[in-house]
């Protein structure tokens, strides 16, 4: 709960009680899981990376020397992230981005002639690999780069033995949902954000 915002799963009995009390839905979000077999079938992940490489992009893990370019890409894309109270994306400066590496996140990028044009950030919890965010430069969208960098991040953790991955986002972001389904994610949770009208 944040202020007067109530975030509950869509099938929670509290939704009915809240709406009867006058609350209205102000956002919908989702959580998805990719559950790999052991040994895992990585064909869809490999295909996504190969498709990007065949277009001439370099797909690789990023070290902290890329922090400035990751920060610039996030600043460029910030207004494109759909907002819901459950999926708010913070404004990140360079120190925030550097903290991603310091706290153990791994970052992967698509690079075009030395320029970072897509990135995906993944962290490891005790239960799963969790995507923090994925973003693509507006001029490079719809070329499979979000799928490719996310696939690269998953492959890296698969090599470390991880078999369950999580991600999520705003319901209105149909492109993100399609991209994740392409990689084998299935939506397992749907959330409603409700508030009392002012």
Q: What is the domain partition of the chain in residue ranges?
A: 40-189
H or E segment and range at residue 48: helix 43-54
Looking at every residue in the chain, the average pLDDT score rounds to 89
Architecture of the structural domain at 40-189: 3-Layer(aba) Sandwich (3.40)
User: Mean pLDDT over residues 82-87, rounded?
Assistant: 67
**Of 119 and 189, the one with more pLDDT:** 119
Confidence of residue 3 (pLDDT cuts 50, 70, 90): low
Q: Which two tokens stand for residue 198?
A: 């002012």
**Of 109 and 16, the one with more pLDDT:** 109
User: Mean pLDDT over residues 5-19, rounded?
Assistant: 86
Confidence of residue 195 (pLDDT cuts 50, 70, 90): confident
| Dist. CA 131–CA 16, nearest whole Å | 31
Contacts of 59 (CB under 8 A, 6+ apart): 49, 52, 53, 108, 109, 110, 111, 148, 149, 152
90-139 residue pLDDT tens: 788 899 999 999 999 999 999 999 999 999 999 998 889 999 999 999 99
Q: State yes or no: pLDDT of 1 exceeds 50.
A: no
H or E segment and range at residue 181: helix 174-182
Q: State yes or no: pLDDT of 2 exceeds 90.
A: no
User: Mean pLDDT over residues 150-172, rounded?
Assistant: 91
21-45 residue pLDDT tens: 889 888 888 889 999 998 999 999 9
Q: Are 103 and 92 in contact (CB under 8 A)?
A: no
């Amino acid at each position: 709960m944040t202020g007067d915002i109530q975030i509950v799963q869509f099938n929670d009995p509290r939704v009915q009680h809240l709406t009867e009390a006058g609350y209205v839905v102000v956002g919908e979000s989702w959580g998805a899981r990719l559950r790999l077999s052991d040994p895992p079938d990585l064909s869809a992940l490999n295909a996504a990376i190969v498709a990007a490489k065949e277009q001439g992009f370099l797909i690789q893990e990023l070290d902290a020397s890329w922090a400035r370019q990751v920060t610039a890409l996030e600043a460029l894309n910030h207004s494109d992230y759909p907002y819901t109270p459950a999926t708010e994306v913070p404004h990140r400066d360079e120190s925030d981005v550097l903290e991603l590496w310091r706290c153990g996140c791994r970052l992967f990028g698509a690079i075009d002639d030395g320029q970072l044009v897509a990135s995906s950030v993944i962290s490891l919890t005790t239960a799963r690999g969790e995507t923090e965010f994925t973003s693509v430069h507006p001029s490079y969208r719809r070329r499979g780069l979000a799928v490719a960098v996310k696939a690269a991040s998953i492959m890296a953790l698969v090599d470390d033995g991880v078999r369950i991955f999580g991600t999520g986002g705003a319901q209105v972001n149909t492109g993100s949902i399609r991209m994740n389904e392409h990689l084998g994610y299935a939506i397992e949770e749907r959330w409603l954000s409700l508030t009392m009208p002012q």
